[in-house]
Amino acid sequence: MDVDEIVRRWELDQLFTDYVHCLDANELERWPDLFTEECFYRITSAENYEAGRPLGLIYATSRNMLRDRVSALREANIYEPQRYRHLVSSINIVGNAANVTGPLDVVANFLVVRTMQDGEMTIFGAGRYVDRVTHDAGRWKFASKTVVLDSRQIDTLLAIPI
Amino acid sequence: MDQAKEQSPSHRPPFQWPAEGNARVPYRVFCDQEIYREELTRIFLGPTWQFLTLANELPTPGDYLTTFVGETPVIVTRGHDGQIRAMQNRCAHRGNLVCLKRRGHTDDLTCVYHAWRYDLEGNLKSVAFRRGVAGRGGMPDSFRLDQHGLKKLRVAAFGDLVFGTFSPDAPPLSDYIGNLIGSRIHRVLRRKPKVLGTTSQILHNNWKLYFENVRDTYHATLLHTFFTTFRLSRLTSEGGVDIAESGAHHASYTRNKVDRVDAASSDKIYAGISSLNENFRLADPSFLTSVEEFGDDTTTQILSLFPNFVLQQIQNCIALRLVLPKGPDKTELQWTYIGFEEDDTEMTALRLAQANLVGPAGYVSMEDGAVGNFIQRAIHGSEEDCSVLEMGGFEHSSEPNRTTEASVRGFWQVYRPLMGF
């Protein structure tokens, strides 16, 4: 493994660390910045994904649509106070690995625990990220992120992105 | 401790519906285990039609899927003759689930426990070791295969919507739905549907709290900021609610391009209501631009069939919702999002973008997943108290406006005699 590849792995690790930090530490306003302007973001179930059904529970085709998700959570939608804790596995580079500056196809597993204001904790979701990352303005960003939940069931509602 | 009192339900006052009729709903009906068990029998297994599937979810003979009628598991098959049928998913032998998977393809239905084998209509075709082994054991000669089939449902289709019932007393499906609401189904489902995806939401509330919410035309523009702020639906737009004569089914509709008052007056009417949020602007509102596809300016139509089916058109986002009871305080809400076979890429993209409005993460419907649970939590200790349903008066008939709870009262109008209340 050459130095460039080690650096690249470290940079991708930083991207994912930053990503879950935005969601878990309630810094949602920074979350869209980790995507390219023309990005694609979708949360779906393994069932839909494997059947080739295109539905997203959250479905965005631009960074501005991600910003709107955040402002709706802040200004419009009504939901109980809650927080997430993401655990993300190591990142597997599955496509285009020879290309040091991307775009790269990467996959990682995640587990999200949701804690409500009264302390109730649930495993809210488990699954994998199926992503495309690319170099944009000197850093890695998500050009595409598909959140594939193992379960088809969502408990009560899905407010904060995964 | 007063254990005897806790164990015996007899200290509770006998259940009696309040004299105000459908304008009052005792909170007890949302929490009581006994009432819940009665509902499973009298309503879900009673003379009602239950949505099973879209016909095109079973495209090929031999396809099957499993679902529920109330809490009763059922199998829906497409037989070798092309007919869709439904039967209870419980082996006639020892009660085991016959189909374990949510969907699949098979030539016959064979129970894993003792290999009793049924055809796709639910008729028992063979029993393993029926004649015994080496002359010993086996079923008695009196055992007849034709007396031990899977329990069958009556099945009927309304367009591509397939319904079933265990009850011989349910009227024919088209009579059950009726012309008024039937024409509102046809309005949306004139073309061949194509499933874009499904999801499911676990609601921690009684199933009827969700169904009341669906039929409640009064709440939508008050609870859902998105509707009001972006003028997707306001009570100041033209709209109304059609209610089947019995009260059983409803269709509320909005023609939001046809304002009854000008925009400024509408803002004035909503002034001070939290759902009108002047500070909230979208960076990318393009997905809210709809295509007129039904030719009648109706931008939102929410339709429900008693007791638990919903057909929704919000802009160009079309979905079926099935409300499945899972206990007095637990409900599964299953969503099936559809487009139509002839949709081009752009139309599909618009439907997918507008799907952001509904479902568990919906800009509009997110709150509906929570509000039933808020009620469920609030009514603890208030089982003898009642909710008040007087908006729009006491009737349950169609109205050319939505500032009413008429369709919620219609639900109770049908529910009460079925339950003997």
CA B125/CA A29 separation, integer angstroms: 62
| Mutation site, A23, A33, A49, A77, interface B, largest B CB count within 10 A | A77
Same domain as B410, residue B274: yes
Same domain as B394, residue B259: yes
Q: DSSP state, B169?
A: T
Same domain as B269, residue B370: yes
Query: B394-417: string of b/e by CB count within 10 Å (b at 16+)?
Result: ebbbbbeebebbbbbbbbbbbbbe
Strands of B34-99 (E only): list them. 50-54, 63-69, 72-78, 84-88
For B291, other C-beta atoms within 10 Å of its C-beta total 12
Which is nearest to B246 in space by CA: B420, B400, B418, B392?
B418
CA B134/CA A119 separation, integer angstroms: 63
Q: pLDDT value at position B417?
A: 97
What is the helix (H) or strand (E) element at residue A15, kind and residue range? helix A3-24
CA distances from B40 to A144, A152, B28, B98 (A): 45, 25, 16, 21
A145 Cβ neighbours under 8 A, 6+ residues apart: A35, A39, A40, A41, A42, A129, A130, A131, A132
Q: Report yes or no on B128 lying in a domain.
A: yes
Q: Determine the residue of chain B that is closest to A38 in CA distance.
A: B284
CATH of the domain at B152: 2.102.10.10
Q: How many CA atoms lie within 13 A of B34 on its CB side?
A: 7
Which residue, B156, B191, B223, sits at the end of a domain? B156
* Percent of chain A predicted with pLDDT > 90: 85
ipTM over 0.85? The verdict is yes
CA B260/CA B269 separation, integer angstroms: 12
Q: DSSP state, B370?
A: H
| Mutation site, A39, A49, A50, A57, interface B, largest B CB count within 10 A | A57
Domain enclosing residue B91, as ranges:
50-156
CA B142/CA B325 separation, integer angstroms: 40
From B195, B280, B283, residue closest to A64, measured CB to CB = B283
Q: Which domains does chain A show, CATH number per domain?
A: 3-149 (3.10.450.50)
Q: Report yes or no on B35 lying in a domain.
A: no
Domains identified in chain B, total number: 2
Same domain as B107, residue B232: no
Same domain as B367, residue B299: yes
From A59, A67, A154, residue closest to B352, measured CB to CB = A59
User: Does B353 lie at the interface with A, CB-CB under 8 angstroms?
Assistant: yes
Amino acid at A9: R
pLDDT in tens, chain B (421 residues): 444 444 455 566 778 999 999 999 999 999 999 999 999 999 999 999 999 999 999 999 999 999 999 999 999 999 999 999 999 999 999 999 999 999 999 999 999 999 999 999 999 999 999 999 999 999 999 999 999 999 999 999 999 999 999 999 999 999 999 999 999 999 999 999 999 999 999 999 999 999 999 999 888 878 887 777 777 777 778 899 999 999 999 999 998 777 677 778 777 777 777 777 777 788 998 888 899 999 999 999 999 999 999 999 999 999 999 999 999 999 999 999 999 999 999 999 999 999 999 999 999 999 998 999 999 999 999 999 999 999 999 999 999 999 999 999 999 999 999 999 9
Same domain as B293, residue B335: yes
pLDDT tens by residue, A87-106: 999 999 998 777 777 799 99
pLDDT in tens, chain A (162 residues): 789 889 999 999 999 999 999 999 999 999 999 999 999 999 999 999 999 999 999 999 999 999 999 999 998 888 999 999 999 999 999 987 777 777 999 999 999 999 999 999 999 999 999 999 999 888 999 999 999 999 999 999 999 999
Same domain as B100, residue B57: yes
CATH of the domain at B226: 3.90.380.10
Asked if residue B196 lies in contact with residue B351, where contact means CB atoms within 8 angstroms, the answer is: yes
Same domain as B182, residue B267: yes
Same domain as B137, residue B278: no
Chain A residues with CB under 8 Å of B367 CB are: 77-79
Asked if residue B158 lies in contact with residue B173, where contact means CB atoms within 8 angstroms, the answer is: yes
For B346, other C-beta atoms within 10 Å of its C-beta total 9
Chain A residues with CB under 8 Å of B369 CB are: 156-157
Q: pLDDT value at position B302?
A: 97
Q: How many CA atoms lie within 13 A of A99 on its CB side?
A: 13
Chain B residues with CB under 8 Å of A44 CB are: 197
Rounded to a whole number of angstroms, the distance from the CA of B235 to the nearest CA of chain A is 19
Same domain as B190, residue B145: no
